[in-house]
Amino acid sequence: MTDIAARPNSDEGTYVDIGSLRSRSENAGVSDRRPITVPADRYISAEFAALENERMWPKVWQLATTLDSVPKPGDFVEFTLGRLSAIVLRDQSGTLRAFQNVCLHRGIELCHGSGEGLTELRCQYHRWCWSLDGALKEIPSRRDFGVVDNDEYGLRALSIDTWGPLVFVNFDADAMPLANYLGGAPADAAHQDLDDFRCRFQITVPVPANWKTTADGFSETLHVQGLHLELLQIYDDLDSDQVAWDHAARSRQPYGRPSPRIRPTPSDQEVWNAYAAVFSSRVGLDPADPGEVPPIGEGQSLLSVMADQLRAARAAQGIDLDRFTDEQLMTLDQYNIFPNITVLVFPDLLSVLRSRPGDSPDECFLDAFQFDRVNPGDDSERTKPLCVDVPLGEASFGVVLDQDFALLRHAQRGLHQPGFTRLTLAQEEIRVVNTHRNLERYLGIEPSEIEGDHPFA
């Protein structure tokens, strides 16, 4: 297994440059494009969910865990998604492996949760046993079974690979390499040095919404003007740029200057106050009383002052960010990996969100992984992250994500109203369109049910 960053040609796949979205603030007038619409029953239909379970989930690359969760031989993590279950582990040689979580005798799951010190995989029911490399090791009362070919009864291995600290698996034995699946994302994110992040905690929250409803909330920025008013003081939401590959897309979002939507333009003090409110946990400022905006030196901008504040705050924690430019420090790169992964990365911070289907189309699980940066060359041992399950609304993820999570309580009910039959999407919501384009491809929906003008038509 080789990490994506070390592979050549990691940008294989179809690249869609959505040039018209690179600066919406410069596009005057009304577009003559037709709105893009998607059937609403994809979010509420049990039949559609059944198709996803049959044709899509077993075929796509899934974020299963992090390298920090399985740092040593004998460490293991159970990964579940709907009816699918996998074991991710380190074998005795330290090799990262993944297997279908099933005993080949009577179909009992072998592992639950996570743990360490594993030396074998033994079924608790009838005690069939496998080595950590998946080879059949023991069958109690073996002679009663007649001739059993050990090679035929090895555990069913899954494809497994990594991108930075993220561990992906695929249940499809014929899956394309993860490097191809991610398209241009690893090369695009290379300057972020994802290998230097360590997972600090993982939180799972049950959400009363479809997994797509949840994932869509992290696949567009149109909602900033309605849900995240604080961000408009410090985030230029009209000048993000977006690109898309087959299974991945990226939005590059500039912070440190206000949205062109705001009139009159906010003062430097107002922008500084918003910076303290949104970045408070990272920059060491009191969000309620950040003080006066620091002096802006000759040749400097307010953005540079903010970047310097971030460098200084992280330096006090022992993290060197001097290799990043001011613009890089104040830019959020957001990668949406089909079907349900959102990777949010600043040079000093990595957050990953994953939505998994629940027991019905109106339920899902939202998993949030939080990472901290270490300095390049830090060879200290990885430590296992804190993993907890919490009810929706009882954990804080910061002011912006808390607002996103709170809205999910109300986002699903409207989809059931009899007069609402199609979602209407703007060109900016092309990452949502990309999700549905891929869904149609995996589910075999032909002709396309996506209507209107979009780059994937």
pLDDT at 331 over 70: yes
pLDDT at 16 over 60: no
Whole-number pLDDT of residue 223: 59
- Using alpha carbons, select from 225, 215, 295 the residue that is nearest to residue 249: 215
Enter the tokens of residue 427.
């060109």
Enter the tokens of residue 131.
């080595």
Say whether pTM exceeds 0.85.
yes
Whole-number pLDDT of residue 4: 33
Mean pLDDT of 359-381: 93
Q: Cβ of 12: how many Cβ atoms within 10 Å? A: 18
Whole-number pLDDT of residue 227: 62
Provide the pLDDT confidence category of residue 21 given band limits of 50, 70 and 90: very low
286 Cβ neighbours under 8 A, 6+ residues apart: 276, 280
Q: Which residue has the higher pLDDT, 293 or 30?
A: 293
- Using alpha carbons, select from 447, 257, 247, 434 the residue that is nearest to residue 337: 247
Mean pLDDT of 156-181: 97
Q: Three-state SS for 271?
A: helix
Cβ–Cβ under 8 Å, residues 141 and 127: no
Highest mean pLDDT (candidates 24-38, 111-125, 383-397): 111-125
- Using alpha carbons, select from 48, 66, 65 the residue that is nearest to residue 57: 48
Enter the tokens of residue 91.
């074998």
pLDDT one-digit tens code per residue, 68-95: 999 999 999 999 999 999 999 999 999 9
Enumerate domains of the chain plus CATH numbers. Answer: 1-59+185-260+325-457 (3.90.380.10), 62-174 (2.102.10.10), 268-324 (no CATH)
- DSSP annotation string for 139-188: -TTGGGG----GGGGS--B-EEEEETTEEEEES-TTPPPHHHHTTTHHHH
Least confidently predicted of 195-204, 348-357, 409-418: 409-418
Enter the tokens of residue 108.
């009992």
Q: How far is the C-alpha of 194 from the C-alpha of 187, rounded, in Å? A: 11
Q: Which residue has the higher pLDDT, 4 or 324?
A: 324
Q: How far is the C-alpha of 214 from the C-alpha of 368, rounded, in Å? A: 12
- Using alpha carbons, select from 338, 373, 367, 369 the residue that is nearest to residue 352: 369
Whole-number pLDDT of residue 347: 95
Residue-averaged pLDDT of the chain: 88
Radius of gyration of the chain (CA): 24
Going from the C-alpha of 297 to that of each of 306, 314, 420, the distances in angstroms are 12, 22, 54
Q: Which residue has the tokens 């703007």?
A: 426
